[in-house]
Amino acid sequence: MSFQLPPVPTLWTRTDRDSLALVGPDHDHWTVGRLQDAANQVSRNLRALGCTPNSAVAVCTRNRVENIVLALAVYQIGVYLVPLSWHLTSHEARYILEDSAAVVVITGPAQAERCTGTGAKVVVIGDAPEGVEVDLAWSALTSGDTSLPEDRKAGGPMTYTSGTTGKPKGVRRPLPPAPPEPVAAAYSAFMLMYGMKIGEGVHLVGSPLYHTAVLYFATSCLHLGHTVVVMDKWSAEGMLSRFDRYRVTSSHMVPTQFSRLLALPDDVKARYDLSSLAHMVHGAAPCPVPVKHAMLKWWGDVVFEYYAASEGGGTMVGPQEWRERPGTVGRPWATADIKIFDDDGEPSAPNEVGTVYIKMAQSFEYHDDADKTRRAWRGDGYFTVGDAGYLDEAGYLFLCDRKADMIISGGVNIYPAEIESVLTEHEAVLDVAVFGIPDRDWGEQVKAVVEVKASAEVGDDFGAELVAWARERLAGFKCPRSIDIVDRLPREDNGKLKKRLLRDPYWAETGRQI
């Protein structure tokens, strides 16, 4: 199955300047012309601040119109965009800013202080907090010449994911030596897989724009000529309200949002007209089969699913195909291929569980982590992110696990190695294991099991003390919800932690394979 994108003007060169392009969290309206002018001004001013091709610009703020403006600006001057979660601590944010060598970082007032002190010029949206020194206000970037900048070249995202030492590493792809329009048009073609049409649609952004897929869907829909509606703080009824108010046709979602929507009272669900919904796409975490069935019953055959990672992808499955094979994440995209290999590197037979490998047109590397890059790739052009699964006889992919150790809570990837590294810095901790345990609302929650030093004197409240200690060093969503203290962690003679012995009892009643 192949998809060919008809000619698309893309947002940068659209001529319908008075058409509605974007609706902000406060329901403020942006026309195509206003968005074009602002993006062009930001492009030019970023260059004046020292942004050259292949350099990096970071952004750390809650969902705002400025996120979209910045992405459009960066993607037309050959620069990498590095999105940072606004939940990160100062230590975490500064590590990414330094590792990416960001020339400029755009922040909201609440995030400004944690983005200082790295060498990146700090640009704050709104008023700078008292006592925090910033270099520029966002208004300085949206001034001056509104024409398209000269020497335009496609840029792209560099998203940070887990590294071999627990430190995040940037997924960096070579930027294509091409103008931004054909590159944007090619990426936008993926939206056609879900049945979207050029010039017809309204896309709702209900998840944080620092997620790769969320920003990708938003900008691609803009280039297709769809209006994009941005939410800041998501709520189930707030999403339904916007579906109704703006006649939304598409959105990118995670299973936790499905669960929250399904939990609404029936009278609240009936209050809003959802007849416009047509292309509701979900990914990022496994969706429980009963939840997916319930959503299809409520919304009808408008729910599509995909499998991918920050590194690339992937597969897609439509609602009717999924009904025939509940639990599948679909067949490969037209530009990708999926193979399953066993531990010896040999192809696995249909329905035989192994490691999932993906092949796509583009390559990537982990920024400044040659070892992780080498381990991800096979010599034949296939890479893996460590997921386990199998292909059935018809080539449909089923996942058994989204990385054995990775925790997915509310659609957000949480990497135990990073948390373990922080906890072991505590003077009383000798050894630690972090893993995910079932959580009815979020899918998984973070659990830690700690072995303390024999010389340490700890009380009954040490677990709570250690959680508080971690919260000073990690974003809240990464911190353990509970900590158990044990005499000794189970390790093999070679030192490898037998985490399965700790984790499996929690999952035994769910029937999930880990």
- The answer to whether residue 4 is domain-embedded is no
Closest CA to 6 of 225, 217, 180: 225
Q: Which residue has the tokens 């002018």?
A: 37
Contact between 51 and 104 under an 8 Å Cβ cutoff? The reply is: yes
Residue 354: strand pairing partners: 389
- For residues 120 and 161, membership in a common domain is answered with yes
**Residue 430, burial from CB neighbour count under 10 angstroms (0-12, 13-18, 19+):** middle
Report the CATH number that the domain containing residue 381 is assigned in CATH: 2.30.38.10
- For residues 189 and 271, membership in a common domain is answered with yes
d(CA 502, CA 485) in angstroms, rounded, equals 12
pLDDT at residue number 425? 81
pLDDT at residue number 500? 80
Q: What does pLDDT average to in each consecutive run of 10 residues of the chain (514 residues)? A: 60 93 97 98 98 97 96 97 93 94 96 94 93 93 96 94 68 91 88 90 95 93 96 94 98 87 92 98 81 93 90 87 93 88 89 88 75 78 84 91 73 81 84 89 92 82 90 91 90 65 81 47
- For residues 241 and 337, membership in a common domain is answered with no
d(CA 229, CA 244) in angstroms, rounded, equals 12
Domain-terminating residue out of 365, 385, 401:
401
- For residues 465 and 357, membership in a common domain is answered with no
Report the CATH number that the domain containing residue 100 is assigned in CATH: 3.40.50.12780
pLDDT at residue number 6? 60
Domain-terminating residue out of 231, 251, 285:
285
- The answer to whether residue 293 is domain-embedded is no
- For residues 192 and 112, membership in a common domain is answered with yes
Annotate 445-513 with DSSP letters as a single string.
EEEEEEEE-TT----TTHHHHHHHHHHTTS-GGGS-SEEEEES---B-TTS-B-HHHHHHHHHTTTT--
pLDDT at residue number 3? 47
- The answer to whether residue 296 is domain-embedded is no
Report the CATH number that the domain containing residue 474 is assigned in CATH: 3.30.300.30
Domain-terminating residue out of 355, 385, 401:
401
- For residues 350 and 377, membership in a common domain is answered with yes
- For residues 334 and 395, membership in a common domain is answered with yes
Give the list of residues 6+ apart from residue 434 with CB closer than 8 angstroms, or none.
Answer: 407, 416, 419, 420, 423, 446, 447, 448, 449, 480
- The answer to whether residue 512 is domain-embedded is no
Domain encompassing residue 317: 303-401
- The answer to whether residue 162 is domain-embedded is yes
- For residues 390 and 416, membership in a common domain is answered with no
If one counts the domains in the chain, the total is 3
- Which pLDDT tens digit goes with each residue over 111-163? 999 999 999 999 999 988 888 989 999 999 999 999 999 999 999 999 998 64
- The answer to whether residue 107 is domain-embedded is yes
Token reading at 280: 């509701």
Q: How many CB atoms lie within 10 A of CB 427?
A: 8
- For residues 47 and 66, membership in a common domain is answered with yes
- CA 355 vs CA 302, 320, 326, 332, 432: distances in Å: 30, 27, 21, 16, 26
pLDDT at residue number 404? 60
pLDDT at residue number 138? 97
d(CA 264, CA 269) in angstroms, rounded, equals 7
- Which pLDDT tens digit goes with each residue over 11-62? 998 999 999 999 999 999 999 999 999 999 999 999 999 999 999 999 999 9
d(CA 378, CA 440) in angstroms, rounded, equals 37
- The answer to whether residue 275 is domain-embedded is yes
Does the pTM exceed 0.85? Answer: no
- For residues 388 and 457, membership in a common domain is answered with no
Token reading at 214: 């969320």
Q: Which residue has the tokens 């810095």?
A: 425
- For residues 259 and 384, membership in a common domain is answered with no
- For residues 151 and 211, membership in a common domain is answered with yes
- The answer to whether residue 3 is domain-embedded is no
